[in-house]
Homo-oligomer: A and B are copies of this chain.
């Protein structure tokens, strides 16, 4: 694949497969390669569906690299045995990330489970430390993904970049995943991204539709909502991030469409909204 010097933004772009569930993991790799991309964002379940070896083969064949593997985390458990099972599942996720040579394994830490928020946050810190110790031996970088506070009860007790960065700083090999949808509202965002610097292990884009059409699956394609997408990417750039930029959109209206159209729209959105931010930057190659 020849490098197109006129479009460095394309070298940064990664389609997260959660955006195009009608493609299986091999199909999303192949479609991304056809589009001239260098990265692809994968999820564990669809990778398992076609089999990890088949995905590895497609990656080798196309030369694509995995910008992130989603996801580990979900540490909550009511019993010690269940807690152990959750931890072991995270170790498996680390192994899968290593096998795919993923840039990072994303952790969504899970909700409180019959406990106070502060207890849940302490428990999560312990579980992250244990997962980080295992990931270190496997050479896998973890990313804590702070979710929007609207998910504090059902998805993640980590709901701000400051929290996620604190976990990253406490554990070697742990960083943060910056997702515009989850973080755009935060008055501390510019300072938080600047402070994150070398801890930024990934950047994801989705837009906030207003009013949100759905609690879980109401995200917009970048440019369709009210987030300053260019400004968000620019914060990452200013903090020194030069890695892949994923588009990850959970929305049944998007999922129902022809995935090639969705990929084209994502590329078009990135070109219109963030190309200018990236054009003067050097590109870190996978």
Binding site for B on A (CB under 8 A): 111-112, 116-117, 121, 148-150, 152-154, 159-160, 162-163, 184-188, 208, 210-212, 215-216, 225-226, 228, 231
Contacts and interface: CB of A to CB of B under 8 A. Distances in A.
Contacts of A185: 117, 149, 152, 159
Contact of A116 (B154, B159, B228): B228
Contact of A226 (B112, B148, B188): B112
Nearest to A112: B226
Q: How many copies of the polypeptide does the oligomer hold?
A: 2
Nearest to A158: B187
Nearest to A189: B117
A24 to B, nearest CB: 29
Contacts of A186: 149, 159-160
- Name the residue in A154, A187, A225 with the highest tally of chain B Cβ atoms < 10 Å from its Cβ: A187
Nearest to A213: B215
A195 to B, nearest CB: 15
A215 B216 contact: no
Nearest to A225: B153
A96 to B, nearest CB: 29
A184 B157 CA distance: 11
Given A150-B150, A154-B211, 15 more contacts: A116-B228, A117-B185, A121-B187, A149-B149, A149-B150, A149-B185, A149-B186, A152-B184, A152-B185, A153-B210, A153-B211, A159-B185, A159-B186, A162-B188, A211-B216
Contacts of A112: 226
Contacts of A187: 121, 159-160, 162-163
A231 B231 CA distance: 38
Nearest to A146: B187
A151 to B, nearest CB: 9
Given A116-B228, A160-B187, A150 B212 contact: yes
Closest 9 CB pairs of A and B: A153-B210, A152-B185, A149-B185, A150-B150, A149-B149, A153-B226, A154-B210, A211-B215, A163-B187
